[in-house]
Structure 1
């Protein structure tokens, strides 16, 4: 507005003031311009009173209809018109306050609200669709896992869940369930083999005893000392099998109690070797014990049983003039005990199963040596109960090594 005033001539450009005033009127503002003598330069009401009335009525109606709670009213404001720091006049402006919206504003808000509602509905529908798809993708493998676990609980250990889920946690669950099925399947196979092996191991001596006694009762055989001794040996064999089963049940029980004291592995190794002195001398075996004289905190009777089982196997399966070595070493945390021999060895593909109960790489050979396949299972259970680990290394016809690692610290 100030640009329409000429400081030199002290006059206003009435046409431009009129144009500005009309634009303001269409926007909802009634403008009156006065000079310094308070003479009217331009007045919207004087210019077009009917248009002013119509504009104000439209604004009032729209605001009362759309925002009745606002309680708006017409108000006026007078401001000075400045040019180059000099007051050249005043402008009196009337408008609907505290604020008002034009028809274009309402149309814009309506369009904006329509767009927002549309976006909201689209987002809701999209979320439902995506949620349904994701829920199906998540629930499908879970339901499949539930079905498979029910089949596993019913004894079907061959069933598996297809892997490949994009969700890491679900994939881990699937792998765990499949691993469980594998483990239970192996345990079931071992259970069946255990039943078969126990039946066979007990049937053979019982049949022999029954045959001998029946023949002696019927007078076919004389009850000589040799035949009675044979029956006695078979009874001892049955007792040995039962004793092995009892030992295995004890060490595999969850409530196995360890009576830990400080023990010396070198001394226990020497005692274990001494138990087999007759067999060692008979086969002229070369047995050596080397390494550190390590002391650990463990159950002496249980660790003695471990050493006896390992030395017993080494003596059984090492040929005449063979070598058995027991080596003990240690670091800051563990004591390492290795029992090795140059005996018949174990096939490489059989090594993962040597610590399973009643597992025997060569059943006929074990029966000839009196083995029942329980000794190494007992070894593993005892070592595990102590918080240690046991490993087997072997090559067929070259020998075997059994390595035990036991913690040195005092574990409860």
Structure 2
């Protein structure tokens, strides 16, 4: 019932009814006041004897008698006639103006939040993406409109920030290999660098790095557009995670990082190549942040209708403020930049996008028993 009363249509109907009732009441009050005024003017001009007769007729409820009207016709010439068109028009005009004024006040109250949203939308279109509309006590459709607008403005703001980070990240990641390629190719062209010293292999590695980055960007673009091709089939995540651990165990051993495995059979329906990319990326992230001679726990299990892959490290964890940004492309935490950790900044973004394309999600949280972070991939069984 409260929701119905907060609807704009309901409010407009109530407003129209209130305006009509106010206009009618004002007209009736004005008419009754005019009757009393005419009676007062008439009795004021009557001689005492005629006034007594009139008062007697009123007390005995004989207002419709011939004598009553005779007295009014004789002594009420100076009083305004209730049938006069000017008098009736004046009463109608006053009633309409007052009722219309009340209607304008209520209509303004209804339209004010809509006007605020329109003004805020104009500011957003002009480039001010930080503008928001205060909802206050506004409810119903207007309140829903304000909430929708604020969500839209927040999404636009987040998208623009992400686009800025993405553009800067692409420029940064492309600049280094392109600079190396340009300098070494100039050296080869000028004869400063001997091509027989393995220079071709070094140049090829830079080209492969660029190719890998471009492929990651292409995958991100397809995932954002919902056009990521997936060769779906039954996949045992324990087998996939085991393969990813086998591929990365060597890089973990270089820093004496131990990977402890715990697997249960958990079948998901997905693209094994893309899901292998997810496993590799979150494992690479864990190894990158794990201290030397530490431990990484990897596990596969099922719960709540989902197959869950969990990767837990013993690193420093992440700042609470970074939780909402760590899956943004090319975004890197300040601690990573200070420590000089390698990485393009798209690994976790790709993992999140691919997981979402499979109908799942990635969750990140800091450990509560000690320092470190836990990344878990949830996929429908």
Same fold (TM > 0.5)? yes
CA RMSD of aligned residues (A): 3.3
The 5 A counterparts of 1:24-103 are none
Q: How much has 1:319 moved relative to structure 2?
A: 2.9
Q: Which residue of 2 aligns with 1:7?
A: none
Which sections of structure 1, spanning at least 5 residues, go unmatched? 1-101, 108-113
Secondary structure at 1:352's aligned position in 2? coil
TM-score by length of 2: 0.69
CA distance in 1, matches of 2:354, 2:104: 52
Q: How much has 1:177 moved relative to structure 2?
A: 1.7
Distance 1:187 1:106, change over 3 A: farther
CA distance in 2, matches of 1:232, 1:299: 30
Aligned with residue 140 of structure 1, among 112, 132, 156: 112
Q: Which residue of 2 aligns with 1:36?
A: none
Q: Which residue of 2 aligns with 1:212?
A: 184
Q: How much has 1:312 moved relative to structure 2?
A: 1.7
CA distance in 2, matches of 1:196, 1:106: 97
Aligned with residue 161 of structure 1, among 129, 133, 138: 133
Distance 1:154 1:251, change over 3 A: same
Give yes or no for contact 2:281–2:347 (8 Å, CA) kept in 1. yes
Q: Which residue of 2 aligns with 1:230?
A: 202
Please identify which structure carries the higher strand content: 1
Measured against aligned partners, the alpha-carbon deviations of 1:335-359 in whole angstroms (never above 9, x if no partner) come to 2321111134322221110011111
- 389-398 or 303-312, which moves further after superposition? 389-398
Q: How much has 1:371 moved relative to structure 2?
A: 1.4
CA distance in 2, matches of 1:337, 1:130: 64
Q: Which residue of 2 aligns with 1:398?
A: 371
Q: How much has 1:106 moved relative to structure 2?
A: 9.0
Q: How many residues are aligned here?
A: 300
Aligned with residue 184 of structure 1, among 130, 134, 156: 156
CA distance in 2, matches of 1:334, 1:202: 38
Q: Which residue of 1 aligns with 2:172?
A: 200
Measured against aligned partners, the alpha-carbon deviations of 1:255-286 in whole angstroms (never above 9, x if no partner) come to 33543322211111111112213213323321
Secondary structure at 1:353's aligned position in 2? coil
The 5 A counterparts of 1:10-409 are 104=63, 128-362=100-334, 365=337, 369-394=341-366, 398-408=371-381
Secondary structure at 1:196's aligned position in 2? helix
Q: Which residue of 1 aligns with 2:87?
A: none
CA distance in 2, matches of 1:156, 1:106: 77
Q: How much has 1:157 moved relative to structure 2?
A: 0.8
Q: Which residue of 1 aligns with 2:78?
A: none
Give yes or no for contact 1:273–1:311 (8 Å, CA) kept in 2. yes
Secondary structure at 1:275's aligned position in 2? helix
CA distance in 2, matches of 1:291, 1:231: 41
Measured against aligned partners, the alpha-carbon deviations of 1:217-261 in whole angstroms (never above 9, x if no partner) come to 323333352444332222222122112111211222223354332
TM-score by length of 1: 0.64
Give yes or no for contact 2:259–2:297 (8 Å, CA) kept in 1. yes
Larger radius of gyration: 1
Secondary structure at 1:392's aligned position in 2? strand
Distance 1:347 1:243, change over 3 A: same
Distance 1:255 1:123, change over 3 A: farther
Measured against aligned partners, the alpha-carbon deviations of 1:33-78 in whole angstroms (never above 9, x if no partner) come to xxxxxxxxxxxxxxxxxxxxxxxxxxxxxxxxxxxxxxxxxxxxxx
Which sections of structure 2, spanning at least 5 residues, go unmatched? 1-60, 67-82, 84-90
Give yes or no for contact 1:306–1:378 (8 Å, CA) kept in 2. yes
CA distance in 1, matches of 2:98, 2:65: 30
Please identify which structure carries the higher helix content: 2
